[in-house]
Amino acid sequence: MEKLQNIRIAVDAIVFGYKSNGLYALLIEQQFGSSDKYWALPGGLVKDEESLSDAVIRELHEETNVQLTFMEQLYTFGDDIHRDSRNRVISVAYYALVDASKLEIKASTDAERVQWFKIDEIPSLAFDHNLILKSGIERLKAKLTYEPIGFDLLPEEFLFSDLENLYCTILEKEIDRRNFRKKILSFDILEQTDKISSVKSGRPAKLFRFNKQKYKELIEKGFHFEIKFA
């Protein structure tokens, strides 16, 4: 006897941004049917004619006005067949790291509001989105130690202290700043610019930038990025 499926495929987007006081995630507020309004991750159902990656980029742009060209697949969520009370839905989650200061967010389509939420102030989200977000945070923490992805959360030019604070904040660990600086600079993937920080407090300091091309060349030669903390 032929068995019929009635399963829908959705995509959800975790967009991480970093500010001086912590790590943030981009959330939208929606109303699902007759239920109360909930905060949720941007996302929605995949159209028949589009790929998963195209779907998540489209949904993110439609609901938040954020247009990204790349998001990395995180995990597929569907073991809980009742994760969405309306239908059987399998969700493929993606995540991206952005410089939040460059994004102009604006709610659209079925999103009533869009807002950055600090990670330790995330509300109860729709469906299993708290679980999805938790998985994204765990991936981010792990990957931060073996790929230089932290630079994607910073402006193109930044203070070295901003990079130190980013690692401390996301990994929730104190670091030996002298050793951290020595380690990062030894990789030879940072360029010190001639520009001085415009921050009024503290001593004036020069800005740095990440040399992506140099990093790619080193990777081709077998370079291994690794940051360890005690």
Same domain for 168 and 132, yes or no, is: no
Burial class (CB in 10 A: 0-12, 13-18, 19+), 87: exposed
User: CA-to-CA distance for 199 and 88, rounded, in angstroms?
Assistant: 52
- The model's pTM: 0.91
Do 21 and 116 lie in one domain? The reply is yes
Can you give the pLDDT at residue 189?
A: 96
Q: Count up the domains in the chain and report the number.
A: 2
- pLDDT per position in the chain (230 positions), as tens? 667 788 899 999 999 999 988 999 999 998 665 567 899 999 999 999 999 999 999 999 999 999 998 899 999 998 888 788 788 889 999 999 999 989 999 998 878 899 999 999 999 999 999 999 999 999 999 999 999 999 999 999 999 999 999 999 999 988 888 999 999 999 999 999 998 887 656 677 899 999 999 999 999 999 999 987 76
Q: Minimal CA–CA distance to 73: which of 58, 61, 57, 85?
A: 57
Secondary structure letter of residue 202 according to DSSP? S
Domain of residue 30, residue span? 7-143
Note the pLDDT of residue 35.
64
Number of helices (H), then strands (E), in the chain: 5, 10
Alpha helix positions (H), 25-155: 52-64, 129-144
CATH number, residue 139: 3.90.79.10
> Are 101 and 185 in a shared domain?
no
Q: What is the pLDDT of residue 167?
A: 94
Q: Which two tokens stand for residue 55?
A: 């779907």
How far is Cα 196 from Cα 82, in angstroms, rounded to an integer? 54
Rounded to whole angstroms, the Cα distance separating 170 from 23 reads 7
Total residue count of the chain as it appears in this document: 230
Q: How far apart are CA 87 and CA 82, in angstroms?
A: 8
Residue 84's pLDDT is what? Answer: 81
Type and span of the H or E element at 213: helix 212-220
What's the confidence (pLDDT) of residue 90?
A: 92
Domain end point (choices 108, 143, 178)? 143
